[in-house]
Amino acid sequence: MKLLRYGPKGQEKPGLLDQAGRIRSLAAHVTDIDGALLATGLGQLREIDVETLPIVEPDVRLAEPVASVGKFLCIGLNYSDHAAESGMPIPSEPIIFTKATSAIIGPNDDVYLPPQSAKSDWEVELGVVIGKEARYVSREAALDHVAGVCLVNDLSEREYQLERGGTWDKGKGCDTFGPFGPYLVTLDEVSDINDLGLWLDVNGTRMQTGNTSSLIFDVPHIVSYVSQFMSLQPGDVISTGTPPGVGMGKKPQVWLKEGDVITLGIDGLGAQRQNVRRYGT
């Protein structure tokens, strides 16, 4: 299934994408797509005849596909060539950092640069959504705790992240710096989680091209690893790292500016489009 949420901010409704690419409403069956629903195993949704669901107008706003995310975690430097372009060593263990849940927006909502930002950057990533509580799980059992995967743009303010002292978090959690969606795609609809192409363009110019086959730590490893340090709850999101081609790695470096348009996608998981604006202008 490709689960989604649609409608104006604060008035989102649950839905899914049918085989013809049309949005169908689930509002008569569930109140929302959130951790509580994912924890049920989604069995009730699989029993619904999709053709009986109302069709939603095609130009409706798409929201983040999971409501009330509890934890938004990220894995840093998880592609060796991205570590190299960042001038950092390949990690021996996954680097975990937190992205504020207040950064979450819909896949096509506007991105707002902080008022004083000079070094905002892009990062296309595969996101993993937890469906079953994971605590000290093994690698072999890790995927049993995953509801599905999604597309994430892990936007980053590099000055705040790397030049202002402390942890990375303050350069990662800026408002609007966490677009994800358009869909939560259940694992049964993903051809091969270890072979998904990723791409990102800025103003129509290709910046990033990658494949999840190049992850240093794959999805089962990440879920198992993170669960050794904190329990993962249904609805939590883990963004798994970005391939090379970020603005920080360009020569000369390239940073986002007001008026830019970011487009990105992952095979089978849909695409995003964000207009870049700046707070206060």
* Residues spanned by the domain of 242: 67-278
Q: Does residue 15 fall inside a structural domain?
A: no
User: What does the pLDDT average to over 168-193?
Assistant: 96
Residue 268, token pair as written in the block: 């089978």
Q: Name the pTM for this structure.
A: 0.96
pLDDT at 27: 97
Residue 26, token pair as written in the block: 């689930």
CA-wise closest residue to 70 among 232, 239, 240: 232
CA dist 272 and 200 (Å) reads 9
For residue 199, the SS3 value is strand
Contacts of 175 (CB under 8 A, 6+ apart): 102, 103, 112
**CA angle 193-197-203, nearest 5°?**
140
Q: Does residue 111 fall inside a structural domain?
A: yes
Q: For the chain, what is the domain count?
A: 1
Q: Does residue 5 fall inside a structural domain?
A: no
Q: Does residue 27 fall inside a structural domain?
A: no
Residue 127 has pLDDT above 80, yes or no: yes
Q: Does residue 51 fall inside a structural domain?
A: no
pLDDT at 41: 85
pLDDT at 82: 74
pLDDT at 84: 79
pLDDT band at 166 (very low <50, low <70, confident <90, very high): confident
Query: Cβ distance 126 to 239 under 8 Å?
Result: yes
Q: Does residue 4 fall inside a structural domain?
A: no
User: What does the pLDDT average to over 263-267?
Assistant: 98
Q: Does residue 192 fall inside a structural domain?
A: yes
CATH of the domain at 143: 3.90.850.10
CA-wise closest residue to 65 among 38, 39, 45: 38
Q: What proportion of the chain, given as a percentage, has pLDDT over 70? A: 100
C-alpha torsion 192→194→199→200, nearest 10 = 120
Residue 54 has pLDDT above 80, yes or no: yes
pLDDT at 157: 97
Q: Does residue 264 fall inside a structural domain?
A: yes
